[in-house]
Each structure stands twice: as structure tokens, then as C-alpha cells.
Structure 1
Amino acid sequence: MSDLGLQDTLPASDLWAERVADLAHAALIDELETWPKPGLVSPVDSGSHHDMDAGTLRRSAAAIRPYFTALVAAGRRNAGMGELRAIGLRAEAAMLAATGGVNAHRGAIFSLGLICAGAGVAGPVPASAEARAEAVARLWGGAIAGAPASTDSHGGRAARRYGVGGASAEAAAGFPTIRAVGLPALRLGRVQAPEDPEAARVQCFFALLAVLDDTNLLHRGGADGLTRAREAAMAFREAGGIAAPDWRDRAVAIHRSFVVARLSPGGCADLLATTLFLDALSREV
């Protein structure tokens, strides 16, 4: 047993598991470093958050990275949802220890962790981003959909109150928002700004923000807050998105308005990281 207390951690010689974990960690860092990202933490500022900054998120990402390796190992063994959930809970404990009790990446542990497990099932074979997303639904969709709703998270409570699916429904269905919106927007952004990968990530983020029932926005701002955020994202896109000459100024203005209103689209941040991870995996093998 390793110092993580995980019997299911793969040996260092398993390059695939380590590579998948590296890509998951890199996706979290790329999400963090994307700016402007309205209401969210970046190296520029802490957005609408008073309990975390970029350093908090970096410590969290480093703490949970080994558990992504463990999830690849579990997937390779065709582990059931109970075992995957147990690894995820240990990842959450490591996150909380690294951040002093701040929930920095609970949603990302869930979404990226499932994709890691799916990569373990498939092994190092070529697969599109869409296929890897759909594999989560095929392998564990029923178990995810049948699990009791969370009662100890803001997002879970908001999902029940407002009758939206949240992160669990998205994963159970094979991440349809990422397949239909996130990945196409990321690819379009790369065409529009081939020399600016951050701009492509901003394009992806605003596309997700325009359509997602983000439970963090519902928690902080209610239905009105969600509507306001979506309308801002749609206006940004209708003005040309990152193809507009003043796109960064527009995005910064939206960011500042979110901070004033204390809006934080954490669900969109998780889906941005998940989109980046799926895209990176699709280009790896």
C-alpha cells in the first residue's frame, strides 16, 4: 500500500495511467489560468470568492492528482461505482486537507474522475473526445442516475430546489453539454484565435455559460442570477465572441459585474476543465 493508502494506485511504470492523470491535472490548471472568466478565480484575482485564490486551486489540483491515477487503475479492473466513489471521497479529503477546508474541486473530481476511470477501461487506444464522454454514460450512467441526490453541497441543494439536473445528470447522460456546446466552441475558438489558446478557452467558457443550468449560480443568485449570467454570455457571443476586436474588454466588464453581484459559475468552470481534458485525451493516442 502506498503512502496514499490506496491499494489501487498503479505502479509508476504504467505510463498510460500517469499520462491520463497528468492531463487531468493540466486541464485544472488551464481552467484556473483562463481569464477573463466571469466571477471565477484566476491568477489575476479571486473573482467572487473570498475563501480561495489561485494558490488554493493549485494546491488542490496537486493534492488530487494521484487519485486520478488511482481511478484509471480502478477502471482497468472494471471497478463498480461504489469503488470509484470511495476513491473520489478520498480525493475530496486530500483536497480539503490541502486547502484548509475549502471546496476547490469537488465537481471536477467527480467529472474528471469518471473520465479517468473510463480511460482505464479503454486503455491507451485512439478515441474521440465525444466517444470518451459517451463512455461514461454507457459504463456508469445508470449507477450515477440512481444514486441518492447530494444533501451536503450547495449545488445539490440548488439542483433539488430549482428542479435542474446538475453535475450528476450531465455525467449520467455522457456530458451532452460538452459534446454539443463545449467541444465545438473550443474548436471554433482555436480557428478564430490560432495563436491564443487562452482566447479559445474563453470562447468555450462563454458558450457553456450561455446554456448551462449552473447550480452554483442558482445557489448564489437564484433563478434571476442564472438568467442574468446567461444573458451576459449570450450578448458576448452575439457581439462576436473572441472574434470581436474588443472581446477582452467586454469579458472583463462582465467579470466585474459578476463580482459585484457575487455570481460564480462554478459548474461552468468544471465543464470547461472537463472539456479541456476530453480534448487533450483525444489528441494523446
Structure 2
Amino acid sequence: MFNLEEFLLMREKRVEIQNEIIQEFKTPILVLRANYPGEEKNNFVPKYIVEIMKKEILQIFNSHIIFTKKIDSIEGPTYIYAIKSSGEELKKIAMEIEDSHILGRCVDIDVFDKDGYPFSRKDFGGEKRQCLLCDQMAFLCGRNRTHTQMEVQEAISNKLESYLMMENSKAKTTNSFSNLALKAIILEVSASPSFGLVSPHTKGSHEDMDFFTFIDSGFSLNNYFKEVIEAGYSPLSVDLIFKKIRHMGKIAEIEMFTATNNVNTHKGMIFLMGITAALAAKAKYEKLPFNDISLLIKEMCRNILKDFDNIHKKTVLTHGEKLYVKHGIVGVRGVVKNGLDLIFNGSIEVFQNSLNAGEHINHAMLRTLIFLMGNLEDTTILHRHDIEILNFVRSRANDLHLKFDNSDLDMNLLSEIENEFISKRISPGGAADLLAITMFLSFIKKYF
């Protein structure tokens, strides 16, 4: 039997706990509760919805969460998070989740600043939340009792059912895309001859890794690919998706280094494939055409070169920053900022044309790798060498691309060039990463 006095006492107790957490941690807090009418706030539907939304909160804020408190009471399950962030940013993200997520209207996500101030939508020019059943504001329908309690509960159950149906579609996309991501990076290291890269036949220009190191590394990333694809298959903005996958990428790096005994095989790939696979899934969720993946990447990575804005003020520069200062080179980051234009309007066509012509996939990979080597300012090459060697590689690759444009590849010549590159310790790692991304995108194109 519903006890109003008990309910009010529990609410007071929760507010007291919230204030204690704010005082202890001196940070804003985020409070997650079910928005469910009636007395049964602890039945399956609201409890399940809160657990689903809890996962979203954890993925978005991840390591910024410094304390979590769960309260089980007559109010239903409540999670309180102390988060290292500004209260304003937290509230904006909370509003986006409430407005965008399928289950967003089924929860309340309240944010309190570190001084205890309760942010409202009005503080950010937002309107009050809309009713689940009509176009009116929810508070008006509640005040006027426009809908019965049972009607609102049924609407919430329908939202949950829609979410579970979406999860089935997400699972299919995740399985397909993650398998193809793994296939792409295994194929990339299988290309031969590969101009100083690791292959099944040679360590290339490397002493600390071989083909089997890459196999170990590749399979260590399988769960990461699944996670970023799941994160991308979402109605949330690309900025919130990026918040999720950035933390996933950090974990993936640790797992990669564990699998390879601290050899860096796929650090660049973690970045590139993470973004590409997540936004391919986002495009799939939004039912967008294939080429719109490029637009999503451009949107997510619009600030990727911001590190270079105040570079003149820095006293210690990274290798990439030194290359930017000396030569204006931004490497793969520039390609990403342009939405992988080099791939969408270049290398995919090279790869697909070769396969369509009946060539072996190894030949298709080599043609694509040559194209990418000729068009990319590969900072991996510059890590070991100077701009003259990079220009030499690009010129040689462009000559090869023209030479074999309408003829079969001369594998003996390519083997000679590979040996030359190995003798000079040249390894076009940036082009290799883009080759894997090219193949992944080519493989998933049929799903759009």
C-alpha cells in the first residue's frame, strides 16, 4: 500500500545524501531515477530502464566518475554520481540523453552544481519535457490528468519494447561489422610484398615484431571493435559517441600492449578503426547512405587539429608537432579531418576495381597500398626519416600506380622495391592503416 509520508521522507533522505556527496567530493553530481508514474516504482520495467540508462552514463563519463552511490527505496532505484566535470556540461549532456535516447523520457537525469544548485532546462534555453503520449508539455498533462496512469505506464513499456527491438538490430550490425573490421586488419598484414611493412614472409623494416605479433594484436582488439560499433549504433550525437569510444580506445591500447609484450602494432589502427566503425554503425542506425559516413567522421573530428592552434607557445613538442612546425604536415589526422576523403573518393575505388577485374585480393591490396603511399603524407615514415625520404616514397608509389594502371602487377619488380625499402628501413605504416580502413569500408558497403 502506498504511503505518502514514507515517500516524502525517502525523498528528503535522498536529498540529504546528495548534499553529503557534494560536500565530500566538491564536484557536481548527476542523479538518475526512473520517470514512472504510480506506486510500483520497483517493478521490472522502471528498474530495467534505469539499469540500461546507467550503462549509458558509465560509458559517457567513464573515468570522470569519482564516486557512485545506489539507493534502493520506495522511489525506485536511484544512482548518484560525483563527476569531475563542470555542472553546465553535465546538464547539457543529461538534456541530450533525455531528448535523444529512446528511453530518455522514461528517466529523470538531474544535475546539481558543486554548490548544490539544481540546474534546470531553462538555464540553457531548453523547454520543459514533452509528454510521452501527446505534443503537450508533460507537466501540463500531469496537472490536468490528461492521461491515465495506466496509459502512461503502457507508453513506457512500449518504449522499452522499441529499445529491445533496436538492440536486436544493433547485435546483427555489431556481429557483421566487427568481423569485417578484424578481417580487414588481418588481411592488411597478409599483403606481400609490402614495401617494408610486416608480412607473412618478412618482418619488413622492423626488428621488434613479426606476422604473428600482428595476429595476436589483431585478435586482442576484437572486443574493442564490438564495443565501438555498439556505441555508434545510437541516436546520440557524434560528440557523445566520441566520449564513449575515446575511453574504450584507451582500454584497447592496454590490451594490445599486453598481447604484444609492449610492442606498438596497432595504436594508429585503434584510433582510425574506432572512429570509422563507430560512425559506420551510426550511419546504419540513422539509415543514412554509405557516403554519409564520411560526413559523420568530418563532424566528429572537426577539432582534431586544435592541438596545433597554440603550438608556438609550447616549449616541448611531440614528434607530430615538430613535423607540423617544420613542414606543415598533419598526416593521418588531416585525412580524418577531411572525412577520410582519400578513401571515400580514392582508395575504395582502386580496391574494388581490382577485385571486379578478377584479380586476387593480394593484388587488390597492393594496388591500394601503392595508391595510398603516393597520396599520404605518412608521418610513420617521417618518424624514422626526413622529408626527402617521404617524397622519394610518394614519387616511387605514384610512378608504380601509373605504370600498372592498365596492366598486371610486376611482382618481381615489387619484391625488388620491397627489399630496397627494407634496406633503407622504410615502413609506410600510415598507408597500411588506411589500407585496412579501405577494406573495412569496402566490405560493409553492401549493408547500406
TM-score by length of 1: 0.87
| 1:116-265 mapped onto 2 (5 Å cutoff) | 116-123=277-284, 125=287, 127-128=289-290, 130-138=291-299, 140-146=300-306, 158-192=323-357, 194-241=358-405, 243-244=407-408, 247-265=410-428
Change in 2 beyond 3 A, CA 1:123/1:160: same
1:71 equivalenced with 2:228 (yes/no):
yes
Cα displacement string for residues 61-86 of structure 1 (whole angstroms, at most 9, x for unaligned residues):
10011111111122234334232211
SS, match of residue 123 in structure 1: helix
Q: Which has the higher contact order (CA 8 A, sep 6+)?
A: 1
For residue 104 of structure 1, give the secondary structure of its aligned residue in structure 2: coil
**Alignment correspondent of 1:53:** 210
Q: 2:440 aligns with which of 252, 257, 277?
A: 277
Deviation of 1:283 after TM superposition, in Å, equals: 1.9
Kindly indicate whether the alpha-carbon contact (under 8 Å) linking 1:155 and 1:216 is maintained by their aligned counterparts in 2.
Answer: no
1:187 is displaced (CA, Å) by: 2.4
Specify whether residues 62 and 206 from structure 1 end up closer, same or farther in structure 2 by C-alpha distance, changes over 3 A only.
Answer: same
CA-CA distance at 1:117 after TM superposition: 1.2
Farther off after superposition, 93-102 or 180-189: 180-189
Unmatched 5+ stretches in structure 1: none
Partners of 1:21 and 1:157 in 2: CA distance: 35
Distance 1:255 1:152, change over 3 A: farther
| d(CA) in 1 for partners of 2:328, 2:305 | 15
2:302 corresponds to which letter in structure 1?
Answer: G
**Secondary structure of the structure 1 residue equivalent to 2:221:** helix
Change in 2 beyond 3 A, CA 1:235/1:13: closer
| CA distances 1:23-52 after superposition (whole Å, capped 9, x unpaired) | 111100111111111010010111001110
For normalisation by structure 2, the TM-score amounts to 0.57
- Aligned residues: CA RMSD: 2.8
Bigger Rg, which one:
2
Contact 2:199 2:211 in 1 (8 A): yes
Q: Distance in 1 between matches of 2:180 and 2:344?
A: 19
Q: 2:130 corresponds to which residue? A: none
For residues 7-156 of structure 1, what are the structure 2 equivalents within 5 Å?
Answer: 14-77=171-234, 78=236, 79-123=240-284, 125=287, 127-128=289-290, 130-138=291-299, 140-146=300-306
Quick one: structure 1 residues 191 and 159, their matched pair in 2 at CA, closer, same or farther if it must change by over 3 Å?
farther
Which string of whole-angstrom CA distances, capped at 9 and with x for unpartnered residues, describes residues 136-172 of structure 1? 113x022434357999975565455432122222112
Unaligned runs of at least 5 residues, structure 2? 1-50, 60-166
Aligned residue pairs total 277
Bigger fraction of residues in helix? 1
